[in-house]
Amino acid sequence: MNTELTLHETITDGGAAALEAVGEIDLSNVEAFSAALEAATGDADSLLTVDLIHVTYLDSAAINALFRHVDHISILANRLLKSILTLSGLADLVPVQIVDA
């Protein structure tokens, strides 16, 4: 059974690319998340903002997908995700901004 995940590629007010995820990211839908990350970071000269503010769950597959793009992303996340981003070491490699949802 697939977990619900919605992905939207957008442009920020500053003109930078952003990928917004809403829902849960786990093994059942990480392929779609990975493909969206790959497409959005493919030819980008600037950092892609990965907006995880409305994500309620990340599993290790999602963390691995983010790790594959550490040189090309920054992350917006909610407080719920702060510990997994920190414990995984991702927050040491990628700019992470914690935002109250």
Give me the CATH topology for the region 28-98: Transcription Regulator spoIIAA (3.30.750)
pLDDT single digits (tens) 28-80: 999 999 999 999 987 667 899 999 999 999 999 999 999 999 999 999 999 99
Q: Please give the order of strands across the beta sheet that includes 17-25.
A: 5-11, 17-25, 48-58, 73-77, 96-98
Q: What is the DSSP string of 28-40?
A: TTHHHHHHHHHHH
pLDDT single digits (tens) 8-41: 998 888 878 999 999 999 999 999 999 999 999 8
Ordered by start, the domain boundaries in the chain are 28-98
